[in-house]
Amino acid sequence: MNVYDAARMSDVLAPLGYRHVETPQDADLVILNTCHIREKAAEKVYSELGRLRDLKQDRAEGKAPMMIGVAGCVAQAEGAEMVRRAPYVDLVFGPQTYHRLPEMVARATRETSGLSGAGRGIIDTNFPVEQKFDFLPEAASQGPSAFLTIQEGCDRFCAFCVVPYTRGAEYSRPVAEVLAEARQLVCGGAREITLLGQNVNAYHGESPSGGEWRLAALVAELAGIAGLERIRYTTSHPRDMTRDLITAHGEIDTLMPYLHLPVQSGSDDILRAMNRQHTAHDYLNIIDGLRAARPDIALSSDFIVGHPGETDADFEATMGLIRKVGYAQAYSFKYSPRPGTPAAAMEDAVPEDVKSERLARLQSLINEQQVLFNETFVGRTIPVLLDRLGRSDTQRAGRSPWMHSVHVDFDTLAAATRAFGRTVELQILSAHPNSLAATPVWDAGATLQEPATV
Ligand code: SAH
Ligand code: SF4
């Protein structure tokens, strides 16, 4: 979501004459868009700010002073404390306020004096009543694969999680607004759209005819947009995995056969302590339902090891669940206490070395599963949306329907250029832990040597 938010900040700043530059040295305005989910992510911000302070000081005479902004959830959580610790920061603004960025930049420009550029530090961490989406300009093109935020914030209050405090209460964008932005993105070249939300399947946006639509209805409507070949959504909560959404996976071809459905733990006691409001059995039932609807669906999850109170037996229950499900990939983290969350006040903290040992075991099991999953694709021909340049002139990279990262080498630069931005049939030559290597399948009917497209 921070990638999406950064793109929208660019959209809102473009009318002021701002454009992207490649290095911070060349920038009149540097914005760090930050994440507060774990302590490590939050800490990085201050070390990065230290580097920017030096750049701001080094800026050559005659140039406008560099302005530094901090956006996102660390800004939200730190507020005035950030300006106290880093007085050279000009703007501190939370994730719900960036539609007011032009106004903040104008104020900071007025108030910033001299080349030292020390302003007074403008802080905006409100949760405004007006929705930022109502004030943002049309979304600019993001290329073949685009993000679209449909839902933000969270009301679930998992014990370990800071999101409800930093992103705020749950909000779903109206259906008409989402459809308009999706069409805009497709006109700008998107063939794939990933719908985003902190708890995306809690979506319940106002429908064009009054009432509300859940995510399944929204996805069905989006599937009708000509030229939109792929739809994905992330991140979902098992409790919001409704029957109609599970069924949609079997009925909507453009809904990709890959789902990130975090379970966090396989132990019912820990799930209860986490306030996840479901059991391991409930989760496995959902997985069964998804596989019945779409047998080739690939699954991914997030895991937290070492949540307060996690015993060896709890951890083994998580390992057991992983073995039962068989994941295509997963993200796993050591529990990190977040100030203000209920879990941070819980007793029975798990020692750091135990967390590390559990994390290593869990990750090695996931890696084994990932390698096995990837190997089943060797020799198969699969459609890949090529949306990235590769390591050489003639290499391109993209994603399979199952979210593999796939690299392909073309014979010529012309063939690579023609294939770029399209969904191309590729034959998988070999599997690596984090990617697949492929070769083009040539379209026999074409006059030119055209890669077969879907
Ligand atoms: N809404 C999603 C998760 C969003 S946060 C869900 O309900 O699953 C992304 C991931 O960060 C979480 O799934 C969790 O695994 C991890 N995470 C969140 N808070 C954490 C914490 N305090 N310590 C370690 N990992 C955490
Ligand atoms: Fe955090 Fe996800 Fe739980 Fe919401 S549902 S509190 S975002 S972990």
DSSP letters of 209-275?
Answer: TSSEEEHHHHHHHHTTSTT--EEEEE---GGG--HHHHHHHHH-TTB-SEEE---B-S-HHHHHHTT
Closest ligand 2 atom to the C-alpha of 276?
Answer: 3
Task: Determine which of 108-122, 145-159, 180-194 has the lowest per-residue pLDDT on average.
Answer: 108-122
Predicted TM-score of the model (pTM): 0.94
**Using only C-alpha atoms, what is the Rg of the chain?**
23
Q: Using a 6 Å cutoff on CB, does residue 432 contact ligand 2?
A: no
Classified as helix, coil or strand, 324 is helix
Do the beta carbons of residue 300 and residue 261 sit within 8 Å?
A: yes
Strand ranges for 327-404 from DSSP E: 329-334, 381-389, 395-399
Do the beta carbons of residue 168 and residue 96 sit within 8 Å?
A: yes
Instruction: Considering every ligand atom shown, identify the ligand nearest to the alpha carbon of residue 154 and give its number.
Output: 2
Angstrom CA distances, 376 to 261, 298, 428, stand at 22, 12, 10
**Average pLDDT of the residues in 164-177:** 95
Residue 46 has pLDDT above 90, yes or no: yes
Classified as helix, coil or strand, 185 is helix
* Residue 427 alpha carbon to ligand 2 centre in Å: 39
- Token look-up 């459809």 returns 179
Closest ligand 1 atom to the C-alpha of 334?
Answer: 24
Give the pLDDT confidence score for residue 5 in this predicted structure.
95
Give the pLDDT confidence score for residue 229 in this predicted structure.
97
**Greater model confidence, 26 or 331:** 331
* Residue 387 alpha carbon to ligand 1 centre in Å: 28
Residue 274 has pLDDT above 90, yes or no: yes
CATH no. of 138-256 = 3.30.750.210
Instruction: Considering every ligand atom shown, identify the ligand nearest to the alpha carbon of residue 36 and give its number.
Output: 1
C-alpha closest to that of 35 among 64, 78, 74, 6: 74
Residue 107 has pLDDT above 80, yes or no: yes
Q: Which residue has the CA at smallest separation from atom 19 of ligand 1?
A: 161
Instruction: Considering every ligand atom shown, identify the ligand nearest to the alpha carbon of residue 160 and give its number.
Output: 1
Residue 189 has pLDDT above 50, yes or no: yes
C-alpha closest to that of 331 among 313, 305, 312: 305
Q: What is the dihedral of CA 130, 131, 134, 139, to 10 degrees?
A: 150
**Confidence bin at 114 (pLDDT 50/70/90):** very low
- DSSP assignment letter at 411: S
Pocket of ligand 1, beta carbon within 6 A: 37-38, 160-161, 163, 198-199, 235, 237, 262, 264, 302, 304, 333, 335-336, 338
Residue 170 has pLDDT above 90, yes or no: yes
**Confidence bin at 453 (pLDDT 50/70/90):** low
Question: pLDDT tens, 115-128?
Answer: 444 557 899 999 98
CATH no. of 381-440 = 2.40.50
Instruction: Report the mean per-residue pLDDT for the chain.
Output: 93
Q: Please classify residue 441 by burial: count the beta carbons closer than 10 Å to its beta carbon, then call 0-12 exposed, 13-18 middle and 19+ buried.
A: middle
**Average pLDDT of the residues in 270-296:** 98
Give the pLDDT confidence score for residue 120 in this predicted structure.
73
Give the pLDDT confidence score for residue 121 in this predicted structure.
87
Give the pLDDT confidence score for residue 109 in this predicted structure.
86
Give the pLDDT confidence score for residue 59 in this predicted structure.
79
Closest ligand 2 atom to the C-alpha of 162?
Answer: 1
Q: What span, in angstroms and rounded, lies between the C-alpha atoms of 195 and 233?
A: 4
Q: Using a 6 Å cutoff on CB, does residue 298 contact ligand 2?
A: no
Question: Within 10 A of 340 (CB to CB), how many other CB atoms are there?
Answer: 11
Task: Determine which of 108-122, 149-163, 430-444 has the lowest per-residue pLDDT on average.
Answer: 108-122
Residue 255 has pLDDT above 80, yes or no: yes
**Average pLDDT of the residues in 304-322:** 98
Q: Which residue has the CA at smallest separation from atom 3 of ligand 2?
A: 158
Give the pLDDT confidence score for residue 71 in this predicted structure.
97
Give the pLDDT confidence score for residue 222 in this predicted structure.
98
| Ligand 1 mutation target, pool 333, 341, 352, most atoms within 8 A of CB | 333
Every domain range in the chain assigned CATH 3.30.750.210: 138-256
**Greater model confidence, 294 or 138:** 294
**Confidence bin at 451 (pLDDT 50/70/90):** low
- How far from chain centre, in Å, is Cα 235? 8
Question: pLDDT tens, 227-247?
Answer: 999 999 999 999 999 999 999
**Confidence bin at 62 (pLDDT 50/70/90):** low
Give the pLDDT confidence score for residue 115 in this predicted structure.
41
Every domain range in the chain assigned CATH 2.40.50: 381-440
Report helix angle 243-251 to 280-293, nearest 10: 30
| Structure token pair of residue 423 | 């969904």
